[in-house]
Structure 1
Amino acid sequence: MPAPAQQPGLRIALVFPGQGAQHPRMAAGLYGHDEVFTQTMDEAFALLGEDGRRTRAEWLAAEPSPAFDDVTVSQPLLYAVNHALGRMVLGWGVRPAALLGHSVGELTAATLAGVLAFPDGIRLMRARIEQFAKTPPGGMLAVAAGVEEVADLLGGDVHLAALNAPRQLLLAGERAALDRAAAVLRERGLVCRDALARQAFHSPVVDGAVEESMADWRAVPLGPPRLPVYSAYTRAVLTAEQARDPRFWARQAADTVYFAPALDRLLADHDCVLVEAGPGNSLSALARRHVRVVRGPSEVAPLLPDRPRGDAADRAAVAAARERIAALAAPAVAAAPAGSR
C-alpha cells in the first residue's frame, strides 16, 4: 500500500505514560506477533532474573493479582512495555523530533535517547522493587482542580505529585492523609479518584528510597541524549549535563511531575504527531485538549486502545496508528504491518 501524501512540517513525538496507566495484558496482543516488541519484552524478563517469570505471569494473567499496581510489578512492566513499543516504532523507520515521558515514562524516553542502556534501566527497576516496596503505605489521588483550589491541603502530609493539565492534578501521600484529603475535596464538590498506585511516588514519603537508590544510579553509565528529550521535571529540553547527573534521575521518583508545562514547551517548539507509546490513552486525552491540537496543526495518535479490549484490538490499534503516522508525517513509514510473526 503506498503511503498517503505527507502534511509538510509535521514531525513525530513519542510520549510515554507512567504509574497509573498500567493494566493487565497491556499491549499483550503484540507479544508473539510483532518481532521487535516480543524480543524486547523477552529481553526484559531475562534481565529481571528470578523476578522475570513472576512479572511475565502477572502481565499475561487474565485477572490482576492484588500486587499488580504495586511498585514490584507495575514499574518494571511499564518501563518494559513502554520501551518495547518505542523500539517497535523506531523499527518502522521513524526518527522522532522529540521524546516526552511522565514519571517512569521519562526513564523510557532517556533510554531510547541513549542516555542509559536498557539492561541498566532494568537493573535499576529491579533495585527499585526492593527499595520502594519498603516505603510507607500510600498512594496517589487524581483531582479535577487547579493548584490554587487544593493549595491549603498541600505541604504537610499531602503533596503535589503531578501537574498534568491546568485542572488535572495528582496528589500523593500516606494512605490515611490522602483519604482525609479526598473527603475534604469531595465536600468542596471536586471530583477525585484514587490512581492505580500503592506507593506515594513524587512526594517526600519516598525520600528514603530515593537516597537508597543513589548508589545504583551512580554506578550506571550515563551519556548525553542523542534525541531531544523534553523533561517533565525541568519543563525544558534535557541538557547533556542533566542527563549525566545521577541525582537528577534518582530524585525523579520523589519530585513533582510537570507534564503540562513540558507538553506546552514541546508543542511550542514542534508541530507534530504525538504518538503515545504505552498503555491506555491518558496522555493522549490530555494532549487532545491542548490548544495546539484542538486548533491544529498538531495531532494525536495513540498506539493502543484506551482500555483493555483484547489482543486483536491491540494489533488493530497499532496498525491504525501506523497508517495514520504514515499519512500525517512520514511517507517513508510503510502503512502495512512489519515485523509480525
Structure 2
Amino acid sequence: MTVEHREAAAQRQEAGAGGPQAAPGRRRVALLFPGQGAQQPGMALGLYRADPRFAARVDEVLALWGAEGRAVRRDWLAPDAPDVPLDDLRRAQPLLFAVDWALGRTVLDWGVRPDALLGHSVGEVAAAALAGVLTLAEAAAVMADRVHHLASAPPGGMLAVAGAPEQVAGLLGEGVVVGAVNGPRQVVVAGAEAPLAAAEARLRAAGLNTRRARTLSAFHSPVVAPAAALGLPVLRSVALRPPRLALHSGYTGGLLDAATAVDPGFWAGQPAAPVLFGPALDGLLAEGRWLLVEAGPAQGLTMLAKRHRAVASGDSAAVALLPARPGDDGREAAAAAAVRDRLAAEALLPV
C-alpha cells in the first residue's frame, strides 16, 4: 500500500467515511462500474421488469433527459428495432450511465455503504454521482452535454489487445494511442479508422490477439479531445464536491483527492484521457480484502478482477449484479439476488 493510500484510509477511518468498520478479516465492499463497450442489447431489462425499485431508479435518470430520455428508453425497450444503434454513443453512454447508477443505487438501497467505488470511463461519472461529487441531476446534465459534443467528433474506433502496454505502444504508429490499461496484458488502443486498421494489422502480424471494441468513436484519444473540451462550461457551472465515499479513479490510477475531484478540467478531459483501470484496481486491492461487486452489464470488469492475483488467490473476490448475457427469463433478477445473498453471507448487509 502506498503512503497516499495509507493516509487516505486513515482519514476515512477517522471521519467514518466508510461507515461501520469491518471486523478483522472480513472483506469490505467495492463497487465497480463499467464503461463504453460493456453495453448489450436488452441489458438489465430483465431486472428492470422484475425489480420495481431498480426500475424506479432507471426511470429517475431517464426522466432527467426529457424527450431524449424517452427516446433512449424506447430504443432500450425495443433492442431489436432501435431508432439509434446501441453502439452509437448517443445510446451507449446514457444507458450505461443510467444502468450503472441504478445498480449502484440499488446496492445502497439494500443498506450497504460501499467502502470504495471504481468506475471505468463513463462508469466513473456514475461512481462520482453516487459518491456525491455531483448530484444525480448535475451528473445527468454533464452526461447530456458530453454526449451532445462527442457526437460531433470525427469517427473512429477502439481495439482491445492482449499485450503489455509498452509492447503494444511500439506497434501503433501515428494517430493511434493506448486509450486504456486494464491489466498487465490487457490494453485498449484508439484512433481514427484508417490508422487504427493499419495498427490492427501490425499488432496481428506481431502475434498479438486483437478484438474490436463496441464503439464507433475513438474514446480516450486525441481524436475526441476538441469535442470533450466543449464540456468545460457546463462543468464549471455545477458545484463539484469532494467525494463522501472513497472514489478510486481510473484516470489518476489511485484514490481521488478532494482537489482533483472539484476540478472541472479533470472531468471535462476524461473522454480523451487514457483510462488506468488496471493500476487503479491494483491500488484498491492493495488496501486489504475486498468483495468487488460489478454494477453494470457484461461482467467485463469482473473478468478483469478475477485475473488479478489478489482475487485469484482467494484473498479478495469478485461478483457481478448482472449475468454475462442479458435475458428476460429471471436470470438477471437471480444474479442480483445471488449478490445480495453473498453480501449477507459475508455479514456485509445490515442486520
**Normalised by the shorter chain, which TM-score bucket?**
over 0.9
Number of residue-to-residue matches in the alignment: 328
Q: State the Cα distance separating 1:8 from its structure 2 match.
A: 3.8
Q: How does 1:38-57 map to 2 (within 5 A)?
A: 38-57=55-74
Report the residue type matching 1:115 in the other structure. V
> Does 1:280 find its partner at 2:298?
yes
Match of 1:338 in 2: none
Q: Deviations over 1:24-45 (max 9, x none)?
A: 1111112143233111211122
- 1:19/1:104 contact within 8 Å kept: yes
Report the residue type matching 1:258 in the other structure. L
Q: Deviations over 1:33-66 (max 9, x none)?
A: 3233111211122111111121001212242646
Q: Deviations over 1:152-189 (max 9, x none)?
A: 23462001100001111000001111111111111122
Match of 1:33 in 2: 50
Q: State the Cα distance separating 1:140 from its structure 2 match.
A: 0.6
Match of 1:60 among 73, 77, 88: 77
Match of 2:28 in 1: 11
Structure 2: state its 5+ residue gaps.
1-22
**Matched residue of 2:177: which SS?**
strand
Alignment CA distance shift 1:236-1:247 (3 Å):
same
Match of 2:232 among 214, 222, 238: 214
**Matched residue of 1:262: which SS?**
helix
Q: How does 1:221-236 map to 2 (within 5 A)?
A: 221-236=239-254
- 1:24/1:60 contact within 8 Å kept: no
Match of 1:88 in 2: 106
Q: How does 1:111-190 map to 2 (within 5 A)?
A: 111-154=129-172, 156-190=174-208
Q: Deviations over 1:259-299 (max 9, x none)?
A: 01100000001311000000011000000011111112111
Report the residue type matching 2:51 in the other structure. D
Match of 2:19 in 1: none
Match of 1:337 in 2: none
Report the residue type matching 1:112 in the other structure. L
**Matched residue of 1:15: which SS?**
strand
> Does 1:262 find its partner at 2:291?
no
Q: State the Cα distance separating 1:111 from its structure 2 match.
A: 0.6
Sequence identity percentage:
51
Structure 1: state its 5+ residue gaps.
1-5, 334-341
- 1:142/1:169 contact within 8 Å kept: yes
Q: State the Cα distance separating 1:331 from its structure 2 match.
A: 4.6
Match of 2:88 in 1: 70
Structure 1 segments, 4+ long, off by >6 Å, are none
Q: How does 1:87-106 map to 2 (within 5 A)?
A: 87-106=105-124
User: 2: CA distance between counterparts of 1:152 and 1:264?
Assistant: 24
User: 1: CA distance between counterparts of 2:185 and 2:283?
Assistant: 18
- 2:46/2:327 contact within 8 Å kept: no
Q: Which region of structure 1 is more displaced relative to structure 2, 34-43 or 60-69?
A: 60-69
Report the residue type matching 1:31 in the other structure. Y
Match of 1:292 in 2: 310
**Matched residue of 2:170: which SS?**
helix
Q: State the Cα distance separating 1:76 from its structure 2 match.
A: 0.7
- 1:159/1:171 contact within 8 Å kept: yes
Report the residue type matching 1:52 in the other structure. G
- 1:17/1:278 contact within 8 Å kept: yes
Report the residue type matching 2:64 in the other structure. L
Structure with bigger RCO (C-alpha 8 Å, 6+ apart): 1
Match of 2:209 in 1: 191
> Does 1:20 find its partner at 2:37?
yes
User: 1: CA distance between counterparts of 2:81 and 2:89?
Assistant: 14
Match of 2:5 in 1: none
**Matched residue of 1:269: which SS?**
coil
User: 2: CA distance between counterparts of 1:314 and 1:167?
Assistant: 30
Match of 2:8 in 1: none
**Matched residue of 1:31: which SS?**
helix
> Does 1:204 find its partner at 2:222?
yes
User: 2: CA distance between counterparts of 1:58 and 1:186?
Assistant: 36
User: 1: CA distance between counterparts of 2:196 and 2:81?
Assistant: 24
Q: State the Cα distance separating 1:332 from its structure 2 match.
A: 2.2
Report the residue type matching 2:76 in the other structure. W
Match of 2:16 in 1: none
Q: State the Cα distance separating 1:329 from its structure 2 match.
A: 4.2
Q: Which region of structure 1 is more displaced relative to structure 2, 74-83 or 289-298?
A: 289-298
User: 2: CA distance between counterparts of 1:316 and 1:50?
Assistant: 32
Q: State the Cα distance separating 1:330 from its structure 2 match.
A: 1.2
**Matched residue of 2:231: which SS?**
helix
